[in-house]
Amino acid sequence: MFQRSVLITLLLVPLLSSPARAQRIEGEWVGVADRHPDSGLPVTLRLRIHRQGDSLRVALSLPESRLIDLELPSPYSDSSHAIFKDNHLHLEFTPDIGLGFISRIVPREQERIVFDGDPSGEEIRGEIQITAYRSPIRLHKATHTSPLHDRNVRFYSDADSLPLGGGLLVPGGKGPFPAVVFVTGSDPDTREAWGIEAEALARKGIASLRYDKRGVGESSGASHDLASWDDLAGDAEGAAAFLRTLPDLIDAGRIGLIGQSQGTWIIAKVAARDPKIRFLVSISGSGISAAEQETYRTGALMKADGFTDAEVERARLFQRRKFQVAKTGLGWESLDSTMKRLRADSVRWFPGYGTGAAARSLSLLRLYGVLQFTYDPTRDVRRIKVPVLVVMGENDLVFPPQMVIEKMRRALLEGGNHDYTARVIPGAGHGLTSVQTIDGRPFRRAIDPEFLKTLVDWVSEKTRSR
């Protein structure tokens, strides 16, 4: 459930009159800003610029904030723009594009990313601005030289034999290595969603397989939104099975699963039925049903946005009623009438905050009820016999941290599993990101270093050769 990436069409007039100049700026450019935040990870910027017909496009990534590029123009903004003129590149991403990693921490009008740079040879010298943060930065053409080995792979889902594409990041040196499979949340994520975590693990000698969600990137299939969670579990099982076919690289006796948000439900399903999985990391999720989680999220987000307690309770009651109809199929006419009235009255919390999701018809509501809403992980968690780490952010607005921790603990103990570790990362949110500051002023959310250390240390301990 991470921040949408952005892709903006460059203005064309100067490019069409100067093809040599346009060619020089194409490619992938990466750099680290000179100015370090008050604490936490540095600011890394990546631009991917390419020609499409007579135009150039640019994709911007800020990996520490989980802002990762997509290969489409953004349909979300009328004012974000990019200009390449007189050998000067100007990119500006304005508030209407929806930059979640800086929302709610600065005034709306300051939710802005600006880059100015001048290409020269194999570098672009410029300045990056993210809200209150400004810094010189030099971008260099990406060379992809690293002691780590990241290779494209293809494997097949155990659910329906769909071909899936991914990246296998392997440490330098001689294997076989322990390995993890990353299973992402409900967004249409590619393999890059957990790149920083994968690199941190690789530096400790742990390989990782990250794959594009079905219907995304190089993975086949219909939209993942139309897949059951058993389908998605089959994808993760296929990934683990693929790793076991690489005995020279991967130690089949030390393979674990790391899931985030929706992915925590998926890995619980897999670990419950695959005794070969050796450990489990649940990040920002599991323990409660999808209906409970969505009801919590509705209220938590509304409270953060200043709704009254009465409005929050009304929205939560609506959610519970909706999920009951999804489960039973009964009461649709009354629910539909209520939704029409809420929409006609322009009630602010409807259909926002997830309250109107998957409720356009009884058939669609029932479909999502079968595929997702009714899943409760408790029975699967009781069957998990391997070490489990649960990491939650203190300020998670999507899953209730303490409820998740306690319900996971109780279910594991009921199944006889005492190898359970729980950590709450102070100040972190759902993506295990925390607010970074510059000169004491907040400017963005970025991956929390304490979370990164917790993850790497625990997985390193559990995969240590015995």
pLDDT digits (tens, 9 = 90+) for 78-111: 888 878 888 999 998 888 887 888 988 999 889 9
pLDDT at residue 371, as a whole number: 80
pLDDT at residue 12, as a whole number: 37
CA 191-195-201 angle, to 5 degrees, is 120
pLDDT (average), residues 299-305 = 94
pLDDT tens-digit map of 414-437? 999 999 999 999 999 999 999 999
pLDDT at residue 358, as a whole number: 82
Helix, strand, or coil (residue 56): strand
pLDDT (average), residues 277-290 = 96
Q: How many residues does the chain have?
A: 466
Average pLDDT taken over every residue of the chain: 89
- Distance (Å, whole) CA 280 – CA 437: 33
Amino acid identity at 271: A
Using CA of residue 419, residue 424, residue 429, residue 431, what is the dihedral sign? negative
pLDDT at residue 148, as a whole number: 75
pLDDT at residue 208, as a whole number: 97
Helix, strand, or coil (residue 313): helix
More confident residue, 396 or 68: 396
pLDDT at residue 147, as a whole number: 66
pLDDT at residue 3, as a whole number: 44
- Give yes or no for residue 311 having a pLDDT over 60: yes
pLDDT tens-digit map of 353-371? 989 888 889 999 998 888 8
Helix, strand, or coil (residue 241): helix
Helix, strand, or coil (residue 160): coil
- Give yes or no for residue 32 having a pLDDT over 90: yes
pLDDT (average), residues 110-139 = 95
Element (DSSP H or E) covering residue 266: helix 262-273
Range of weakest confidence among 177-191, 237-251, 308-322? 177-191
**Given 3-state DSSP classes, what are the helix, strand and coil percentages for the chain, each rounded to the nearest 5?**
35, 30, 40
Rounded to two decimals, the pTM is 0.90
- Give yes or no for residue 4 having a pLDDT over 60: no
Most confident region among 126-135, 146-155, 208-217 by mean pLDDT? 126-135
- Distance (Å, whole) CA 155 – CA 322: 38
- Give yes or no for residue 10 having a pLDDT over 50: no
- Give yes or no for residue 274 having a pLDDT over 90: yes
- Distance (Å, whole) CA 381 – CA 388: 10
Residues ≥6 apart with Cβ < 8 Å to 21:
14, 15, 87
Report whether 95 contacts 112 (CB < 8 A).
yes
Range of weakest confidence among 100-114, 215-229, 260-274, 415-429? 215-229
- Distance (Å, whole) CA 31 – CA 29: 7
Strands 163-170 and 133-141: unpaired
pLDDT at residue 54, as a whole number: 66
- Distance (Å, whole) CA 78 – CA 39: 34
pLDDT (average), residues 308-334 = 95
- Provide the H-helix boundaries in 345-400: 362-368, 378-382
pLDDT band at 8 (very low <50, low <70, confident <90, very high): very low
- Distance (Å, whole) CA 373 – CA 380: 16
Tokens standing for residue 456: 């790497």
